[in-house]
Amino acid sequence: MHRRAEPEGSHEHEHGHGRGQPDRWPNVWLLALVGLVVWAATGVYVVEPSQRAVVWRCGRILPELSVPGIHFGLPWGIDRVTRLKIYEQKRVGIGLSLDDRNLGRAVEPRRAECLAGDRNLIEISAVVQYEILDAKAYLIRTADVPAAIENLVTAELSAAIASRAVDDVLTVGRLEIQQQVLAAARGRLVRWQRKGQGLGVQINSVTLEAVRPPQEVDEAFRDVIAAREDRHRAVNEALGYAAALRPGARGEAERIRLEAEGSAAETLEKARGEADRFRRMAAQLGSGRELTTRRLILETLEEVLPRLKKIVLDDEAAKKLDLGVIEDQWP
């Protein structure tokens, strides 16, 4: 982070070399030249557009930041220049290493594991974004700002997890945890500032990355999700069954109703027809009533008698008949 100028040795050597030269040129000019070169090499610096530079003069930081461009400071030993990308969003990983993540490596499980409020273990990792607010404080307060932020935010995250059930953490609590952790971590930095130890940064966001049960119990958690799906499916299947059943029942009901109406009409029509027929027949009886009735009787006998078993007896025999003889023939 601190960019210091070249090591001391080279300049001492240059001095020594100048001194050792034969007395052909005046020493004053030589010294001036060497001085100029040293100044140009160490006192002139360039600030890139994305950067601001902090100048340490005799160890004290100058209040003004150097804007992009070329600057003429004092030579090495007096000025030291630190270039900072002060508008950059800086990131630090919690329970995961951002470098490792870029290489596609997994979260280190034991670093991400913590105990939830219902005493279940859960793996949780997050990414914190912060930016520099005060370049001086950022440079002088601690040697390792990312580590400080990582420790502080991890502590707040653990506290948030420790007061929640694992199901909340895994499902609905995500956003709430992020906001709570962000607020708590900011509050912590404000407390540091009140102690005169402000880090000169502002935390912009805490984003939970992977929130998941440890690998050892992963399968059990998956089964719960599958069970929830099963419940959903069973209900949907039942709803489908019900949806199919109702129209079927209504159709069946309609069939019964129509059938009844049909058979009612049939009954009525049949009655009307038969009554009409009877009326006509009765009307035709008139004076030939007896002959007509005999005819009807004989017609019926003609129709019926052929299919019967007939035994003809005279009156005397009939009186002596043992009916058991006939009964035996019945199938």
Partner 1 sequence: MKKLILVALLCAVLVVAWRSLLFVDETQQVIVTQFGRPVRTLSEAGLYFKPPYQSSLAIDRRVQIYNPRPAEFLTSEKKNIDLDVFVCWSVEDPQRFLETVGDPAGATSRIHDMVWSKLAAAVSRSPLENLVSVDGNKQRLESLVEGVAGPCADDARQQYGIALVDVKIKRIGLPDQVRESVFERMRKERARIAQRYRSEGSEEAMKIRATADKEKTVILAEAYAEAEIVRGKAEAEATRTYSEAHQKDPQFFDLLRTLEAYRKILDEKTTILLSGDSDLLKYLSRGPTAGDPRTAKPLAEVPSKPGSSPP
Provide the minimum distance between the beta carbon of 49 and partner 1 in the complex, in angstroms, as a whole number.
Answer: 26
Side-by-side strand order, sheet with 79-84: 60-61, 52-57, 79-84
Picking from 86, 5, 89, the residue whose alpha carbon sits closest to that of residue 48 is: 86
User: Which residue number, 46 or 245, has a Cβ lying nearer to partner 1?
Assistant: 245
Q: By three-state DSSP, how is residue 134 classified?
A: coil
Sign of CA pseudo-dihedral 304, 308, 312, 316: negative
Amino acid at 103: L
Give the nearer residue to partner 1 in terms of CB position, either 96 or 114.
114
For β-strands 52-57 and 79-84, DSSP reports them as antiparallel
Locate 183 and state its tokens: 């607020």
Kindly tell me which of 85 and 228 has the beta carbon lying closer to partner 1: 228
What 3-state DSSP class applies to 201?
strand
- Residue 38 or 165: the one with the smaller Cβ distance to partner 1 is 165
For partner 1, the closer of residues 28 and 312 by Cβ is 312
Rounded Cα–Cα distance for residues 3 and 202 (Å): 23
From the CB of 103, what's the least distance to partner 1, in Å?
A: 24
- The dihedral of CA 258, 262, 263, 265: what is its sign? positive
Nearest distance, CB of residue 94 and partner 1, angstroms: 10
Tokens representing 69? 């461009």
- The minimum distance between CB 181 and partner 1, in angstroms, equals 13
Q: How far is the CB of 313 from partner 1 (least distance, A)?
A: 6
Q: Which is nearer to partner 1, 40 or 239 (CB)?
A: 239
> Closest approach of Cβ 305 to partner 1, in Å?
7
Give strand pairing partners of 242.
none
Distance (Å) of CA 58 to CA 10, 46, 78, 97, 143: 21, 20, 5, 37, 19
- Tell me how far, at minimum, the Cβ of 195 lies from partner 1, in Å: 6
Q: What is the CA radius of gyration of the chain?
A: 54
Task: Give the C-alpha distances (Å, rounded to integers) separating 169 from 114, 126, 158.
Answer: 12, 13, 11
- Minimum CB distance to partner 1, residue 205 (Å): 20
Residue 46 or 121: which CB sits closer to partner 1?
121
Tell me the residue length of the chain: 331
* Beta carbon nearer to partner 1, 104 or 196: 196
